[in-house]
Structure 1
């Protein structure tokens, strides 16, 4: 007996305006649903160009409350029409506060919850601390297809093994990472695309869990986004992938019952020693 879940990751250029970008994402979401995807992951902050390259107070005007954000509203309509789940990244305004957030949108268009990005980067080309407060939701796991639980981290979260392990301990059975990452302005010779993949593949292996990663591509105001979106299985083997330029949909199916058996057999969670890990929670 199988317990199959089919998931997709989208890869595309997102250098246009809000309406154009949402229309392009919508087209790929429809394509993914047509391939049988039950959960479809667009890239991070897909409503427009990646605006965190520099500090510009005028860009705060693009933030909206969850229920009013154009990306969220568009994906709600699609989720209702197509009966799928769409983890939707967006720039959230909550009173005077601003977050890099994700709405877990369920079939019917219902917002099942919101996760606010926990780890906020700050550096040349990625000035996110100017725009976003650190998330205050804690890590989140939501019910997806077949009542199975899905975990989502946002971009910089993907570098932290603590993020993946925390979601696993909350019951996650697939991990999703929407991303906006590319060239490093401080060092044009540094290509982090291989490191980026290895970090998430490491989460897959050490937690025995499939991982789905969606990144943008293309040039935006002198910054290059390198794509390389992928889906890997619970053993870290890549089952679907793009390179640096392809636009499209990656789709894969996983038998969650089999994945659970593999996880139990490896014994990583059986052999954990939480009483020895206190140092991990000390900021010294």
Structure 2
């Protein structure tokens, strides 16, 4: 057995004022109640909420505060994510802080929730890191999980535990819980999904094992979720199969084939036919938009989807 204790903190997130002091208080409470915890994970955009005008410089004061708390308790800390100012662009970025209070990695969300999370630029780098003598961890944020290639890539890079800060307050949360179980099972990994409350989400954080089974699912109130994981379960699952049955990672390795849809510039006529990425609107406006789209594509033929700019 290779035990490692992670606590998820499901807390209320305000969009009106900073949540940093409350995060620090929650950390104090967590570490006093559960001093055996070795890593703490908060939800997406927990520090300042989901509004773009709260974007911060990184590195900056937020990281400084979180680094102090990680060093104080000698823990690994993923303080959710914040909107990050980077030149003229804004990213949704999570930091990984080690027990010495050092930022060892940063990850920017690859799939902003378009067309709703407008104004946010997509990241383009995967993030894995090693906890010495424990295992390899990967970072994924919210909507990333809806794209199986993201978690699969982290797993192929060796990640055994996926840390997944999220912010979901919409009616598709139940679907996300199913996706979390599916991603854990098809990639044979632990998945630690932490959602917020109020403007930070509807809760129902979930922790899944490498067989896709639920280790814990929170309700819709504030919770501290301390769970000791046996990381060796991942290796046993990947070597011997899920419930000693399917071995999806090894089968993927042995039958990768040539997935032509992933070739840059490959023609994708069906996907192109779906039209632009839009926020749903009244049907008459949607018909008008489709007509404009059709006229645009006829006047400027392309090898792939271009759409109205």
- Paired residue secondary structure (1:122): coil
Note the C-alpha offset of 1:146: 2.7
Counterpart residue number, 2:289: none
The 1:281–1:82 alpha-carbon spacing in structure 2 relative to 1, beyond 3 Å, is farther
| Contact kept in structure 2, 1:18 and 1:47, CA below 8 Å | no
In the alignment, which residue of structure 1 is the partner of 2:282? none
Tell me, which stretches of 5 or more residues in structure 2 are unaligned?
242-246, 269-309
**Higher alpha-carbon deviation: 29-38 or 82-91:** 29-38
Alignment of 1:157-236 (within 5 A): 157-183=144-170, 191-218=171-198, 220=199, 225-236=201-212
Measured against aligned partners, the alpha-carbon deviations of 1:246-284 in whole angstroms (never above 9, x if no partner) come to 112112112112321112112222211222334345562
Contact 1:66–1:103 at 8 Å: present in 2 too? no
After superposition, where does 1:83-102 map in structure 2 within 5 Å?
83-88=74-79, 89-102=81-94
State the distance in 1 between where 2:140 and 2:85 align. Answer: 19
Instruction: State the secondary structure of the residue aligned to 1:226.
Output: coil
Indicate how the Cα distance of structure 1 residues 145 and 38 shifts in structure 2: closer, same or farther if over 3 A, else same.
farther
**Secondary structure in 2 aligned to 1:260?**
helix
Residues 102 and 114, structure 1, Cα contact 8 Å, conserved in 2: yes
Q: CA RMSD in A?
A: 1.9
User: What does residue range 55-204 of structure 1 map to in structure 2 within 5 Å?
Assistant: 59=53, 62-70=54-62, 72-88=63-79, 89-123=81-115, 127-130=116-119, 132-136=120-124, 138-144=125-131, 146-183=133-170, 191-204=171-184
- Is the aligned partner of 1:47 residue 2:29? no
Q: 3-state SS of the aligned residue for 2:201?
A: strand
The counterpart of 2:217, out of the listed 230, 233, 241, is 241
Retained in 1: the 8 A contact 2:134–2:231? no
Match of 2:26 among 17, 28, 37: 28
Q: What is the TM-score with the length of structure 1 in the denominator?
A: 0.84
CA distance change for structure 1 residues 164 and 268 in 2, over 3 Å: closer, same or farther? same
Q: How many residues align?
A: 256
* Secondary structure, counterpart of 2:133 in structure 1: helix
- Larger RCO of the pair (alpha carbons < 8 Å, separation 6+): 1
Change (3 A) 1:69 1:99: farther
For residues 104 and 151 of structure 2, the distance between their equivalents in structure 1, rounded to whole angstroms, comes to 20
SS for the counterpart of 2:49 is coil
Aligned counterparts of 1:121 and 1:196: Cα–Cα separation in 2: 14
- Name the residue aligned to 1:56: none
Corresponding residue for residue 276 of structure 1: 258
**Which aligned segments of 4 or more residues in structure 1 are displaced greater than 6 angstroms?**
none
Q: Tell me which residue corresponds to 1:186.
A: none
Larger radius of gyration: 2
Instruction: Give TM-score, length-normalised by structure 2.
Output: 0.77
Gaps of 5+ in 1: 53-58, 184-190
State how far apart, in whole Å, the 2-side matches of 1:145 and 1:17 are. 39
